């Protein structure tokens, strides 16, 4: 059954959620405080790169089923169910989550909801205890639910329409029934639904990201040991993956995890555990964070060694700027972190990414940017492969042999075909592999 749904905060999560809510049959009104973003979305365009999203969004904007506004009054008047999808970044100068946007949504909405029997659904990633606090800010006849989101950038549409599971943190059977009705077309695919209380729902999200970060840092720790022992972490991971208890996903060793979520979420989780007096339970996440940051330093060290001991006067090509392929998101990108470190140490860095150039230029204006991978490689002394775009895997090492000053590639993602690059006369090095 079609419902009138609003989505507040139309960034990576909210724009995807809004388009997918329209796709499953609802009338949707998206709201953002950024008028430029709203203008772009209204014209049927997506202000960031996410495969398949623009087609979906444009289709529903064209029929009028999906609209956008900057007016909270319009949202309150229109919606029966309001999804809050605003950002929860790391606090400036601290590790805790910055909840000012999450609070602002409720502060704006609460006075407008009295007498409307609305359901407000939090989707942002928040420290446990937030939902209980927000619920107390709503008028009596409005209810809160917590419904964390697990989508991955690059697969956002697919993950929203066919998630691994749905988690509903609710305080009443009525709230559960309303969420089940909104998600009915998704649930009809057999999607498991876990119904629970607020704190468990909030913790499912932060513990899922903590587990994923731990899995990546585990394999990167093995990569450190492999490097010292002359072993091969890629084959080690493959062998581990055949044990179904371990599984093969999220065991790709390399320059480590970045993005707008895993790094800030494990830090916020540690900060919240400290506030709850159980900081000790999560001290292992500090190690997860350390292992991850060490990988960035390791790539810089390997590059310096390859450049002959120092970066002065050396040209370093950096392939990749996004924190992962199929995204233009550069938040806490390992690739740009490495590029910036080398630049600060006197290297002439040339960065190329298929989609993230504009965002990279804004965040790191002092780095040099190339028009293509080949352009970045021109006269390079060392090539760093730091985001595993298909375009980079498709490069022809034989054809590029004479483009560079020295054929030396460091594969920070263990994703290039080592045999092919070596056969074409390149020195190929990867993290955790001989």
Ligand X SMILES: O=C(O)[C@H]1O[C@H](OP(=O)(O)OP(=O)(O)OC[C@H]2O[C@@H](n3ccc(=O)[nH]c3=O)[C@H](O)[C@@H]2O)[C@H](O)[C@@H](O)[C@@H]1O
Task: Determine whether 85 is an active site residue.
Answer: no
CB of 147 to ligand X, least distance (A): 13
For ligand X (CB under 6 A), the number of binding residues is 21
**Can you give the binding site for ligand NAI, defined by CB under 6 A?**
8-14, 31-34, 37, 85-88, 101, 104-105, 124-125, 149, 151, 153, 260-261
CA separation for the pair 53, 359 (Å, rounded) = 19
Q: In the complex with ligand X, which residue's Cβ is closer, 100 or 165? A: 165
Instruction: Give the Cα-Cα-Cα angle 411, 416, 417 (nearest 5 degrees).
Output: 130
CB of 257 to ligand X, least distance (A): 3
Quick check: 257 binds ligand X (CB under 6 A)? yes
Q: For residues 324 and 331, is the Cβ–Cβ distance under 8 A?
A: no
What character string, x for contact with ligand X (CB under 6 A) and - otherwise, covers 132-151? -----------------xxx
Quick check: 261 binds ligand X (CB under 6 A)? yes
Binding-site partner at residue 11 among ligand NAI, ligand X, none, CB < 5 to 8 Å by type? ligand NAI
Q: In the complex with ligand NAI, which residue's Cβ is closer, 83 or 389? A: 83
User: Given the rule CB under 6 A, which of 257-265, 280-288, 362-370, 376-384 is the region that contacts ligand X?
Assistant: 257-265
Quick check: 53 binds ligand X (CB under 6 A)? no
CB of 108 to ligand NAI, least distance (A): 6
Q: Rule CB under 6 A: choose which of 256, 407, 412, 432 binds ligand X.
A: 256
Q: For residues 394 and 375, is the Cβ–Cβ distance under 8 A?
A: no
- The candidate with the shortest Cα–Cα distance to 343, out of 307, 371, 373, is 307
Q: How far is CA 395 from CA 84, 319, 406, in A?
A: 42, 11, 16
User: Given the rule CB under 6 A, which of 28-36, 196-204, 254-262, 376-384 is the region that contacts ligand X?
Assistant: 254-262
CA separation for the pair 75, 382 (Å, rounded) = 53
Query: Please, what's the b/e burial string for 33-55 (b: 16 or more CB within 10 A of its CB; e: otherwise)?
Result: beeebbebbeeeebbbbbeebbe
Q: In the complex with ligand X, which residue's Cβ is closer, 30 or 259? A: 259
Instruction: Give the Cα-Cα-Cα angle 190, 131, 265 (nearest 5 degrees).
Output: 80
CA separation for the pair 128, 132 (Å, rounded) = 9
Site for ligand X in 372-431 (CB under 6 A): none
79 labeled binding residue = no
Site for ligand X in 174-213 (CB under 6 A): 209, 212
CA separation for the pair 131, 174 (Å, rounded) = 17
48 labeled binding residue = no
Q: Which long-range contacts (CB under 8 A, 24 or more apart) does 388-394 make?
A: 388/320, 388/325, 388/413, 388/415, 389/319, 389/320, 389/322, 389/325, 389/326, 389/353, 389/354, 390/325, 391/354, 392/319, 392/320, 392/416, 393/417
What character string, x for contact with ligand X (CB under 6 A) and - otherwise, covers 210-229? --x---x-------------
- The candidate with the shortest Cα–Cα distance to 203, out of 129, 134, 293, 275, is 129
Query: How many C-beta atoms surround the C-beta of residue 141 within 10 A?
Result: 11
CB of 17 to ligand NAI, least distance (A): 9
Quick check: 11 binds ligand X (CB under 6 A)? no
Q: Rule CB under 6 A: choose which of 33, 224, 231, 250 binds ligand X.
A: 250
Binding-site partner at residue 124 among ligand X, ligand NAI, none, CB < 5 to 8 Å by type? ligand NAI
Within a 13 Å sphere around the CA of 277, how many CA atoms are in the beta-carbon half?
A: 0
Maximum distance among all Cα pairs of the chain, rounded to whole angstroms: 73
Quick check: 152 binds ligand X (CB under 6 A)? yes
Query: Please, what's the b/e burial string for 258-272 (b: 16 or more CB within 10 A of its CB; e: otherwise)?
Result: bbbbbbbbbbbbbbb
CA separation for the pair 265, 124 (Å, rounded) = 11
CB of 53 to ligand NAI, least distance (A): 12
Report, as residue numbers or ranges, the catalytic residues: 261
Residue ranges for the binding site?
A: 32, 37, 88, 125, 150-153, 205, 250-254, 258, 264, 324, 331
Q: Which residues bind ligand X (CB under 6 A)?
A: 125, 149-153, 209, 212, 216, 250-252, 254, 256-259, 261-262, 323-324
Residue ranges for the binding site for substrate?
A: 150-153, 205, 250-254, 258, 324
């Amino acid at each position: 059954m079609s419902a009138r749904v609003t989505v507040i905060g139309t960034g990576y999560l909210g724009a995807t959620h809004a388009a997918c809510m329209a796709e499953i049959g609802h009338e949707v009104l998206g709201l953002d405080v950024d008028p430029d973003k709203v203008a772009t979305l209204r014209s049927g365009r997506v202000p960031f790169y996410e495969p398949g999203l623009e087609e979906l969004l444009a289709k529903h904007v064209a029929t009028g089923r999906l609209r956008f506004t900057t007016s909270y009054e319009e949202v309150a008047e229109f919606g029966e169910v309001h999804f809050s999808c605003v950002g929860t970044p790391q606090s400036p100068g601290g590790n805790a989550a910055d909840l000012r946007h999450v609070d602002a949504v409720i502060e704006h909405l609460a006075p407008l909801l009295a007498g409307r029997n609305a359901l407000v659904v939090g989707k942002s990633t928040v420290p446990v205890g937030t939902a209980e606090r927000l619920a107390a800010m709503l008028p009596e006849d409005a209810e809160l639910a917590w419904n964390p989101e697990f989508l991955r950038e690059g697969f956002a549409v697919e993950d929203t329409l066919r998630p691994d599971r749905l988690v509903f943190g609710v305080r009443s059977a009525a709230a559960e029934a309303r969420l089940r009705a909104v998600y009915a077309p998704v649930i009809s695919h057999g999607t498991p639904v876990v119904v629970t209380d607020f704190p468990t729902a909030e913790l499912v999200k932060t513990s899922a990201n903590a587990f994923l970060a731990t899995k990546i840092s585990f394999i990167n720790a093995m990569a450190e040991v492999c490097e010292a022992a002359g072993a091969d972490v890629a084959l080690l991971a493959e062998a581990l993956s055949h044990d179904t208890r371990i599984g093969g996903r999220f065991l790709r060793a390399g320059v480590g995890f970045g993005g707008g979520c895993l790094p800030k979420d494990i830090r916020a989780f540690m900060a919240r555990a400290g506030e709850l007096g159980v900081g000790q339970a999560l001290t292992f996440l500090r190690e997860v964070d350390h292992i991850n940051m060490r990988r960035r330093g390791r790539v810089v060290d390997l590059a310096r060694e390859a450049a002959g001991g120092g970066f002065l006067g050396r040209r370093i090509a950096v392939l990749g700027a996004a924190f992962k392929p199929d995204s233009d998101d550069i938040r806490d990108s390992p690739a740009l972190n490495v590029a910036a470190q080398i630049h600060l140490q006197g290297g002439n860095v040339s960065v190329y990414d298929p989609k993230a150039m504009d965002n990279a230029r804004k965040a790191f204006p002092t780095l040099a940017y190339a028009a293509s991978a080949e352009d970045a490689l021109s006269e390079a002394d060392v090539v760093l492969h730091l985001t595993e775009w298909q375009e980079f895997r498709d490069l022809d090492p034989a054809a590029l042999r004479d483009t560079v000053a020295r054929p030396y590639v460091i594969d920070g993602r263990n994703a290039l075909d080592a045999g092919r690059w070596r056969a074409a006369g390149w020195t190929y090095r990867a993290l955790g592999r001989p």
